Amino acid sequence: MQNSATPTHCPYCALQCGMNLTPAADGTVEVTERADFPVNRGALCGKGRTAPAVLSSRVRLTSPLVRSAGALVPASWDEALDRIAEGLARTRAEHGPDAVGVFGGGGLTNEKAYALGKFARVVLGTSQIDYNGRFCMSSAAAAGTKAFGLDRGLPFPLADIPRTGCVILVGSNLAETMPPALRYLTELKDNGGTLIVVDPRRTRTAVQADLHLAPRPGTDLALALGLLHLVVAEGRTDEAYIRERTVGWEEARAAAMAHWPEYVERITGVSVPQLRRAVRMFCEPEAAMVLTARGPEQQSKGTDTVGAWINLCLATGRAGRPRSGYGCLTGQGNGQGGREHGQKADQLPGYRKLTDPAARRHVAGVWGVDPDSLPGPGRSAYELLDALGTDIRSLLLMGSNPVVSAPRAAHVEERVRSLDFLAVCDVVLSETAALADVVLPVTQWAEETGTMTSLEGRVLLRRRAIAPPEGVRSDLEVLHGLAARLGVEKGFPADPEEVFEELRRASAGGPADYSGITYRRLAEENGVFWPCPASPDAAGAAPGGPDARPGGPARDRAPATAAHPGTPRLFLDRFATEDGRARFVPVAHRAAAEEPDEEYPVLLTTGRVVAQYQSGAQTRRVDELNAAAPGPFVELHPRLAARLGAAEGDPVAVVSRRGRAVAPARITTAIRPDTVFMPFHWPGEGRANTLTNPALDPASRMPEFKACAVRLEAVRQ
Ligand SMILES: Nc1nc2c(c(=O)[nH]1)N[C@H]1C(S)=C(S)[C@@H](COP(=O)(O)OP(=O)(O)OC[C@H]3O[C@@H](n4cnc5c(=O)[nH]c(N)nc54)[C@H](O)[C@@H]3O)O[C@H]1N2
Ligand SMILES: Nc1nc2c(c(=O)[nH]1)N[C@H]1C(S)=C(S)[C@@H](COP(=O)(O)OP(=O)(O)OC[C@H]3O[C@@H](n4cnc5c(=O)[nH]c(N)nc54)[C@H](O)[C@@H]3O)O[C@H]1N2
Ligand code: SF4
Ligand SMILES: [Mo]
């Protein structure tokens, strides 16, 4: 164990704030400021600051558990691993390899995500693997790939934000979900730039805005189309840019012209003067950005919605230019890297497609297997969970807690309970782990080394600072042990750097090329932006072949050195499509999968609070965070509350076609009167996902977390 401070990164969100971990006298570690990491410059939110609390043996798992006579009881590692290998092998023998499922997470390091994808395809031979990132930024990923030929959430560093003229922030509550990043918006305003926030609630982020647009949940697509309509009507398009750098404008233009402002006002509730003001603010400065987060993305039309916002950027020449562009604010710690290296249903490492014969040959070569032995694409996350207990009989779960976080959670819970066999690797006994046949206790961020790729596309080294407690092993050791028991002795090293070295080779030449990145460089350079090919001359092979470079030679590239410098800014010279041009998508407004009606007259939307993280499995174990955010609530407008006869703090039942949840009322004029909001961090009676609608986006397979129809009922006490 090191005695001095170890520079590393936060276990939680995609900002991946830098922090130092300093050993304390009692054997624990303390979080101290790490000012040299440029993204957060030492600032942390409460979750990051208190993260060491979850390292304590008082709240975490330190022994494998196996189910015996109905209860989970401690067992040896050998027994637990044997049981898992037997459980998975039995399903495979009885029902075939596709009856074994694997579910991963966007919080896992690149090494783990890579090894998990390889484990599913090579050891289990199953196509049925997906992960919780499907619930997160998949719509933005699908839209970005369609438009730009490549999905890297932010194609520029956060540091560019204060240098642009206007930012439209769509459905992001940054002030609560990435507090240290709020600084970039403050600096934008200090520099004379303007901020537009699009959110049905006047959030802590929205109060920072020069203009707050509060559309009905699920109508961002119409809003973006209405803005584009006005851009055209007011003659604010950038014709030269459209001609030189895009294709498909005519169809997209025609689609937007069908969405005249008064029609858009009726759909969204955003007034025509507000729409005009937004267009003026966005178009007048020389440069501008649109940033989206889960608000517009977690919809059954999320891909088209993001496409519409990208269209707005393309029509005004605000993509692939300095200080301008479209970006998605990815959410989970490794939400970016976790979507690149093969734990996704349709994917091979390096952001390659599982259906591409050349990609299969390349990766099979690295893995030393026959390309024909690799299965094809499998089901998406919700579809996989929905098939548990029927087509999928056994599941290996690593890095997610779907019993709390998946849509239509009561149904998902029932599906999980109906499995023949469930194995969960976790650091704590999550609500999903509590249902398992075998639970494996794994090491955490501060106890293991690995790489994370932040929301900027910056690959980072998260270093080990302390030794794990007795009885705990890493996810990589778990996969190593299971592979050996299932007859694959080689190819699953437990050493993260060894896994990364293989990942480099597997990703080489792919869209997300990491081959020029080494642990050593990461330690020295404070992160490296992908693509970073091994050779400085190859600027990363885009889908269009070796010459189609994602983003082309970046203008801000450092002087030629032996190594490729990485790519902070993409698309400045060309997009990553075959012809280098961005694609407009012709999209039209459509309703949410479930609109309010007489029986369910109110819209429910869901999201986050600053002091809890995701399903809460980790943060609900931290006293300081529980004191700040003790439980679920229903945020509603005074008018709705009055109709219900509910006072502040009274229990309110929210009922949807999926179920019923009860939580105290939090009454505020900060929300639209036709909408209620619930955070999704808690299990039990107040579980928001009991209510949510698993209607899926046809392209991204993202569920509609952000809009469903509900009714409210007073609860007699
Ligand atoms: N404290 C905290 N921080 C987190 C997380 C956490 O759980 N807790 N999770 C991390 C992860 S994985 C993610 S993905 C990010 C998510 O980060 P955000 O996207 O910022 O989080 P959300 O609260 O889900 O949604 C953002 C906003 O969308 C609004 N919204 C709801 N419906 C709509 C709609 O139809 N249209 C629009 N435009 N807006 C809508 C909500 O009111 C909410 O304020 O946060 C990351 N950071
Ligand atoms: N209603 C509603 N539902 C939502 C959303 C919403 O906005 N509204 N947002 C969705 C989004 S964006 C997301 S990202 C999902 C997230 O929801 P989940 O997938 O449930 O995410 P977490 O709660 O982070 O679960 C991670 C689990 O892995 C464990 N863990 C942490 N690190 C490791 C590790 O290194 N190895 C292993 N094996 N385990 C580890 C944690 O203890 C925890 O139990 O929720 C989605 N659900
Ligand atoms: S903003 Fe995100 S990365 Fe930074 S300290 Fe908070 S949870 Fe950690
Ligand atoms: Mo997320």
Find the CATH number of the domain harbouring 657.
Answer: 2.40.40.20
Considering every ligand atom shown, identify the ligand nearest to the alpha carbon of residue 328 and give its number. 1
Q: Which one-letter amino acid corresponds to residue 154?
A: L
Same domain, 379 and 299: no
Closest ligand 1 atom, residue 218 Cα: 35
Of 261, 294, 329, the position where a domain reaches its end is: 329
Backbone angles phi, psi at 48, to 5 degrees: -65, -40
**Residue 588 counted as domain residue:** no
Which CATH number is 168's domain given? 3.40.228.10
> Are the C-beta atoms of residues 363 and 348 closer than 8 Å to each other?
yes
Among 427, 451, 464, which residue has the most ligand 2 atoms within 8 Å of its CB, making it the best to mutate?
A: 427
Which CATH number is 41's domain given? 2.20.25.90
Backbone angles phi, psi at 644, to 5 degrees: -85, -15
**Residue 582 counted as domain residue:** no
Same domain, 364 and 498: yes
Q: 444 CB contacts (<8 Å, ≥6 apart)?
A: 11, 54, 55, 60, 427, 468
**Residue 455 counted as domain residue:** yes
Same domain, 202 and 93: no
Count of CA atoms in the C-beta half-sphere (13 A) of 115: 30
Task: Give strand ranges (E) for 611-682.
Answer: 634-636, 651-655, 660-667, 675-679
Q: What separation in Å is there between the alpha carbon of 166 and the centre of ligand 3?
A: 25
**Residue 562 counted as domain residue:** no
Q: What separation in Å is there between the alpha carbon of 475 and the centre of ligand 2?
A: 16
Same domain, 324 and 351: no
**Cα–Cα separations (whole angstroms), residue 259 to 226, 234, 303:** 6, 14, 18
Q: pLDDT tens-digit profile of 170-179?
A: 999 999 999 9
Q: How many Å apart are CA 164 and CA 525, to the nearest integer? A: 26
**Residue 640 counted as domain residue:** yes
Q: How many Å apart are CA 120 and CA 123, to the nearest integer? A: 6
Candidates 65, 96, 97, 57; CA nearest to 81 is: 65
Q: What separation in Å is there between the alpha carbon of 95 and the centre of ligand 2?
A: 29
What does the mean pLDDT of the chain come to?
A: 95
Of 329, 351, 368, the position where a domain reaches its end is: 329
Closest ligand 1 atom, residue 201 Cα: 42
Q: How many Å apart are CA 284 and CA 166, to the nearest integer? A: 9
Q: What separation in Å is there between the alpha carbon of 604 and the centre of ligand 1?
A: 14
Closest ligand 3 atom, residue 11 Cα: 8
Query: Is the distance from the beta carbon of residue 14 to the nearest atom of ligand 3 less than 6 Å?
Result: no
Query: Is the distance from the beta carbon of residue 349 to the nearest atom of ligand 2 less than 6 Å?
Result: no
Query: Is the distance from the beta carbon of residue 47 to the nearest atom of ligand 3 less than 6 Å?
Result: yes
Closest residue to atom 14 of ligand 1, CA basis: 331
Start-end of H helices in 375-529: 381-386, 402-405, 409-417, 475-485, 496-507, 519-525
Same domain, 96 and 34: no
Same domain, 298 and 339: no
Same domain, 410 and 541: yes
Same domain, 635 and 527: no
Q: State residue 562's pLDDT score.
A: 72
Query: Is the distance from the beta carbon of residue 618 to the nearest atom of ligand 2 less than 6 Å?
Result: yes
**Residue 152 counted as domain residue:** yes
Q: State residue 204's pLDDT score.
A: 98
Helices H, strands E: what count in the chain? Answer: 22, 30
**Cα–Cα separations (whole angstroms), residue 368 to 319, 372, 506:** 41, 12, 11
Closest ligand 1 atom, residue 177 Cα: 3
Same domain, 229 and 349: no
Q: pLDDT tens-digit profile of 317-333?
A: 999 999 999 999 999 99
Closest residue to atom 16 of ligand 2, CA basis: 614
Q: What separation in Å is there between the alpha carbon of 708 and the centre of ligand 2?
A: 21
Among 294, 330, 413, 426, which residue has the most ligand 2 atoms within 8 Å of its CB, making it the best to mutate?
A: 426
Considering every ligand atom shown, identify the ligand nearest to the alpha carbon of residue 50 and give its number. 3
**Dihedral over Cα of 477, 478, 481, 483: its sign:** negative
Q: State residue 538's pLDDT score.
A: 60
Ligand 1 — pocket residues by CB below 6 A? Answer: 13, 136, 170-174, 176-178, 198-201, 203, 217-218, 220, 293-296, 331-332, 605, 607-608, 610, 612-614, 677, 706-707
Query: Is the distance from the beta carbon of residue 400 to the nearest atom of ligand 2 less than 6 Å?
Result: yes
**Dihedral over Cα of 618, 621, 625, 626: its sign:** positive
Q: What separation in Å is there between the alpha carbon of 177 and the centre of ligand 3?
A: 8
Which CATH number is 506's domain given? 3.40.50.740
Q: Which one-letter amino acid corresponds to residue 715?
A: V
Q: In percent, how much of the chain has pLDDT > 90?
A: 94
Query: Is the distance from the beta carbon of residue 333 to the nearest atom of ligand 3 less than 6 Å?
Result: no
Closest residue to atom 25 of ligand 2, CA basis: 400
Closest residue to atom 40 of ligand 1, CA basis: 295
Query: Is the distance from the beta carbon of residue 132 to the nearest atom of ligand 2 less than 6 Å?
Result: yes
Give me the residue label for tokens 């030269």. Answer: 240
Among 173, 270, 299, 454, which residue has the most ligand 1 atoms within 8 Å of its CB, making it the best to mutate?
A: 173
Into how many domains does the chain fold?
Answer: 4
Same domain, 394 and 433: yes
Q: Which H helix or E strand runs over 230?
A: helix 220-233
3-state secondary structure of 602: strand
Q: State residue 3's pLDDT score.
A: 63
Query: Is the distance from the beta carbon of residue 48 to the nearest atom of ligand 3 less than 6 Å?
Result: yes
Q: Which one-letter amino acid corresponds to residue 451?
A: T
Closest ligand 3 atom, residue 9 Cα: 3
**Residue 575 counted as domain residue:** no
- Weakly modelled stretches of the chain, pLDDT under 70: 1-3, 538-561
> Are the C-beta atoms of residues 80 and 438 closer than 8 Å to each other?
yes
> Are the C-beta atoms of residues 560 and 225 closer than 8 Å to each other?
no
Closest residue to atom 11 of ligand 2, CA basis: 136
Closest ligand 2 atom, residue 402 Cα: 20
* Residue 24, token pair as written in the block: 């304390």
Same domain, 29 and 118: no
Per the structure, the complete domain to which residue 630 belongs is given by: 602-714
Q: How many Å apart are CA 115 and CA 481, to the nearest integer? A: 12
Q: What separation in Å is there between the alpha carbon of 425 and the centre of ligand 2?
A: 13
**Cα–Cα separations (whole angstroms), residue 27 to 46, 52, 170, 303, 669:** 22, 12, 44, 48, 48
683 preceded by cis ω (within 30°)?
no
Q: State residue 556's pLDDT score.
A: 42
Same domain, 322 and 340: no
Q: State residue 716's pLDDT score.
A: 81
Q: What separation in Å is there between the alpha carbon of 139 and the centre of ligand 1?
A: 14
**Residue 150 counted as domain residue:** yes
Q: What separation in Å is there between the alpha carbon of 293 and the centre of ligand 1?
A: 7
Of 539, 557, 575, the position where a domain reaches its end is: 557
Query: Is the distance from the beta carbon of residue 689 to the nearest atom of ligand 2 less than 6 Å?
Result: yes
